[in-house]
Structure formats: structure tokens, C-alpha cells
Amino acid sequence: MREKELLKTLLNEPGCLLAPGVYDGLSALLVEAAGFSTAFLSGGSLSFSRFGLPDVGLVTATEVAETISIIKGRSKIPLIVDMDTGFGNALNVQRTVASFERAGASALQMEDQVFPKRCGHMAGKAVISCGEMVGKIKAALDARHHSDTLIIARTDAIAVNGFEDALERGHRYIEAGCDVLFIEAPDSIEQMKVIGQQFGDQVPLVHNFAEGGGSPIEAANELQGLGYKIALFPVALLHLFVHQAPQLLAHILEKGSTLAWHEEMADLEGINQVLGTQERLKKVENYHRD
């Protein structure tokens, strides 16, 4: 089954789909090896990891497309891709959809922030008009080559215009034809209940578990009862790395050794197992005959 078709099948099955954030080939391999059935290329995680930059719209569409291609060269599970605002107006959206789909994305998430955007949990966001976003959704739908490529419409309107405007946008975005709806950063479980009641029977709903982002709930097992279908963990791997790396580096600086950390670390054998090094070396033997 093709990955795009697989993602649609997974969304029709019982339970909540867990999608950890990835940002390169290795992180994608680790997520797949752990048993997850899908992954999420977060714009924030890519900006943090590859460029050491904040999530304020500094990464280009070309850089994201290249990363999709790298990840899909190593991972077979469906990839949900954050395409921010589509990187411009409706025409830019169409180029972005075509490029990201060609690179291997199974679903594309587009938000209604003003370009350049900023992280959905940062203050100072602004959103475009509902009508402009509706046009961008329609442009994205027209641009996709495969109908199985899902278009996820995200609104950041709660923090800007309030909850009622976010609900109105949700209705308008579904009318425009989006396949999945993402109302970012609800303030309470009560708001999540309303979102689930109004939209959960129409399209799959997305919730974002960003550490420090203030989610009203703590775990994905609470989502299904609220009418949600997809749980994103966009920066979990990076947040762990960023927390632990300074401790290891301080130890190396002081002791000149990693010995005390060996139980917490992979070694060369372990990482080669993750990378499938031996399988590749055996494969290349088929091409060397005396």
C-alpha cells in the first residue's frame, strides 16, 4: 500500500494516531524503529536542529523540501509535513504543495498566520483573513497531484481573535475542502470538547503536544474521548537532546571522558544497527564479483 493511502487508512482505524516530530534521516529511523506508524516534520524542529534558529519563519520552502527528500530516503512510514503558511500567497502555496508532495510528503499542514509566521505557542502572532485562507486551501487542493495527499488546515486564531473566530474559521476551512482540521492552542478542556463536538464527526482533528506549550491535557489517550484523531509531538526528541546535551558536554569538558555516561549512550555498534550498516555492506557484495 502506498504511504499516502496508508495514512488515510490509519485515520479511519480506531484510536489516536501518534506522530513524533522528526527533522533528519536519523530521527526518522528512530521513530520508525520504535514502532510508530507515522512521523511529523515540524518546521520548528527543523529550524532548531539544522539551523540553530527560532521558529519565526526563517526556513525556506526549498530547505524543507530537501529535508523531506532526505527523510523519505530512509523511512517508509507516512510523513506529515508542516508547510507553515505555504510560504506566501495562493500561488506560492501551489508551488509548495507540488514540491513537498514530489519530495514524498503524505500530508501537508498549512496555517493561517501572516507570513513570516512564528511558533504557534509564541505571543505576537497575527492571522490573515478567513477569506484569504479559504483561497489558499482551495489552491492547495487544486495543486496536489494525488487526491490521497491530505491537506491539513490549521488556524492560530484563538490567541489572536478569540475562540469564536477560531470555530468560524474551522467551519469555513472544512467547507473549503480541507481533509484534516487543526485548531491550535486551545485554552481549556472545555474548548477542546467544543471543537470535538463541532468538527470531530466531519474530519480528523489534530492536537499538539509541545512541551511548555500549555496543552490542557497531558496524554494522547485522552484525545479520542474528545473527538480528536492525531497527536503531534513536534519537538519531543529535540527537547530531550537539548536538556541532556549540556550535561554530557560539561562532563567531557571537566573529565575529558564519556565513561561515566556510557550506560546512557549508544555506541558505534548500536548506531550501526539503527542505520542498517551490515545489511548495506552485505548488499554491496552482490556487486563485487571476481
Query: What crossing angle do the helices spanning 61-72 and 90-103 adopt, rounded to 10°?
Result: 20
pLDDT at position 120? 62
Element (H, E) at 270: helix 268-275
CB 86 within 8 A of CB 159: no
pLDDT at position 1? 59
CB 190 within 8 A of CB 217: no
Point out the residues of the chain with pLDDT beneath 50. Answer: none
CA distances from 167 to 35, 111, 154, 185 (A): 34, 14, 11, 13
pLDDT at position 212? 86
pLDDT at position 213? 84
Nearest to 140 by CA among 103, 176, 168: 176
| Distance separating alpha carbons of residues 232 and 212, to the nearest angstrom | 14
pLDDT at position 250? 97
Kindly state the cell numbers that stand for 213: 506549550
pLDDT at position 4? 83
Residue 242's contacts (CB-CB under 8 Å, 6 or more residues apart) are 48
pLDDT at position 239? 96
pLDDT at position 214? 81
Structural Rg of the chain based on CA atoms: 20
pLDDT, tens only, 136-195 = 999 999 999 999 999 999 999 999 999 999 999 999 999 999 999 999 999 999 999 999
pLDDT at position 289? 67
Q: Domains of the chain by range and CATH?
A: 3-241 (3.20.20.60), 245-285 (no CATH)
pLDDT at position 290? 62
Peptide bond into 186 cis (omega under 30): no
